[in-house]
Amino acid sequence: MARHHVTTRINGDEIDFLCETDQTLLSVLRDELTMTGTKEGCGTGDCGACSVMVEGRLVCSCLMLGVEVRGKSVDTIEGMADGETLHPLQRKFLEHAALQCGICTPGLLIAARALLAVNPDPTESEIRYWIAGNLCRCTGYHKIVEAVRDAAAEMRGV
């Protein structure tokens, strides 16, 4: 079986890759493109560690086939900072110590950015519901929620 040739746009750059039919987008990112910022946790859509944006939608990259992103745009954690300048969410996660082992962090950052894009001033409850699909086994979530609220305030210019 020939591998599929897929052309897509990842973090704004046109990218070509080859993949097997049953290869997930997560596996394509990590194993074919060596973009290992996106993490594998459960592999079954429960933990959100593999969260990326596809066509502006927050999705689990473990629940998509690589061939499904043909002609689509994908945004991953590698595109979040602007060169050496961290995104406010990344900076606030560091300031608030909103991570320990770090496996959930790329997914939480992608999910949090997606939240702030549609709701620039979320309540604590709105943040907690939004990130229900992102599991963290270290922090107990409190510092993550605080970091998101603080980043949201900064991004609103408060």
Partner 1 sequence: MRYEAPETLEVATALLAGAGGGARVLAGGTDLLIQMRGDIVAPDLVVDIKNIAEMRVLAEEGGHYRLGAAVTGMEVMEHAGFNAAWPGVVDGVRLIGSIQVRGRATVGGNLCNASPAADSVPALIAAGAVACIAGPGGRREAPVEEIATGPGATSLAEGEIVVSFLFPERAPRSGDCYLRFTPRTEMDIAVVGAGVCLALDGSGVCTAARVALGAVAARALVVEDAARALIGSRLEAAALERLSAAARAACRPIDDKRGTIAFRTEVAGVLAERAALVAAERAERG
**Which parts of this chain interact with partner 1 (CB under 8 A)?**
1, 4, 21-22, 24, 43-46, 48, 51, 54, 57-60, 62-65, 67-68, 111, 114, 129-130, 132-134
Residue 124, number of CB atoms within 10 A of its CB: 12
For the bound state, the minimum distance from the C-beta of residue 52 to partner 1, rounded and expressed in Å, comes to 9
Q: Which CB atom, from 50 or from 147, has the smaller least distance to partner 1?
A: 50
Q: What are phi and psi of 41, to 5 degrees?
A: -105, -90
For the bound state, the minimum distance from the C-beta of residue 75 to partner 1, rounded and expressed in Å, comes to 13
Q: How far apart are alpha carbons 58 and 86 in whole angstroms?
A: 20
For the bound state, the minimum distance from the C-beta of residue 44 to partner 1, rounded and expressed in Å, comes to 5
For the bound state, the minimum distance from the C-beta of residue 6 to partner 1, rounded and expressed in Å, comes to 11
Q: Which CB atom, from 40 or from 91, has the smaller least distance to partner 1?
A: 40
Q: What are phi and psi of 76, to 5 degrees?
A: -120, 175
For the bound state, the minimum distance from the C-beta of residue 11 to partner 1, rounded and expressed in Å, comes to 18
Q: Which CB atom, from 24 or from 105, has the smaller least distance to partner 1?
A: 24
Q: Which CB atom, from 33 or from 64, has the smaller least distance to partner 1?
A: 64
CB 112, CB 53: distance < 8 Å: no
Residue type, 21: T
CB 69, CB 5: distance < 8 Å: no
Q: Which CB atom, from 118 or from 158, has the smaller least distance to partner 1?
A: 118
Q: Smallest Cα–Cα separation from 47: which of 74, 32, 26?
A: 26
Tell me which residue has tokens 């020939």.
2
